[in-house]
Amino acid sequence: MQLKLKCECGQVQGLLTIKSFSDGNNITCMCDDCQCFAHYLGKEDQILNKNGGTPIFQTTPNKMKITQGNEKLNCVALSPKGAKRWFTSCCRTPVGNTVSAKMSFIGLIHNFIDFNSIEESERLQFKNFSNHCMGNFGRGELPKNTSPKFPLGLTLKIMKTILHGKLFKTYQPNSLFNIETGDPISPLHIIPKDEIAKIKGKFS
For the CB of residue 7, give the shortest distance to Zn ion in the complex, in Å.
Answer: 3
| Residue numbers 110-169 binding Zn ion by CB under 5 A | none
**90 interacts with Zn ion by CB under 5 A:** yes
Quick one: which of 3, 27, 31, 64 contacts Zn ion (CB under 5 A)?
Answer: 31
Containing 195, the helix (H) or strand (E) segment is: helix 193-203
Handedness of CA 16, 22, 25, 27 (dihedral sign): positive
Window contacting Zn ion (CB under 5 A); options: 3-11, 115-123, 159-167, 189-197: 3-11
| CA–CA gap between residue 167 and residue 32 (Å, rounded) | 33
Q: Show the CA angle centred on residue 189, arms to residues 183 and 192, nearest 5°.
A: 145
Residue 175 · residue 14 · CB < 8 Å: yes
Window contacting Zn ion (CB under 5 A); options: 21-29, 103-111, 143-151, 158-166: 21-29
**47 interacts with Zn ion by CB under 5 A:** no
Which of 58, 88 has the CB closer to Zn ion? 88
Quick one: which of 51, 88, 111, 146 contacts Zn ion (CB under 5 A)?
Answer: 88
**99 interacts with Zn ion by CB under 5 A:** no
Q: How many chain residues touch Zn ion (CB under 5 A)?
A: 9
Which of 7, 48 has the CB closer to Zn ion? 7
Hey, which residues does 133 pair with through a beta bridge?
A: 29
Residue 61 · residue 12 · CB < 8 Å: no
For the CB of residue 97, give the shortest distance to Zn ion in the complex, in Å.
Answer: 8
**29 interacts with Zn ion by CB under 5 A:** yes
Window contacting Zn ion (CB under 5 A); options: 27-35, 42-50, 150-158, 161-169: 27-35
Hey, which residues does 184 pair with through a beta bridge?
A: 177
**38 interacts with Zn ion by CB under 5 A:** no
| CA–CA gap between residue 72 and residue 53 (Å, rounded) | 26
For 188, phi and psi rounded to 5 degrees?
A: -75, 130
- Exposure class string for 126-153: b at 16+ Cβ within 10 A, else e: beeebbbbbbebbbeebeeebbeeebee
Residue 23 · residue 38 · CB < 8 Å: no
Which of 93, 174 has the CB closer to Zn ion? 93
Radius of gyration of the chain (CA): 16
Which of 47, 101 has the CB closer to Zn ion? 47
What is the contact surface with Zn ion in residues (CB under 5 A)?
7, 9, 11, 29, 31, 34, 88, 90-91
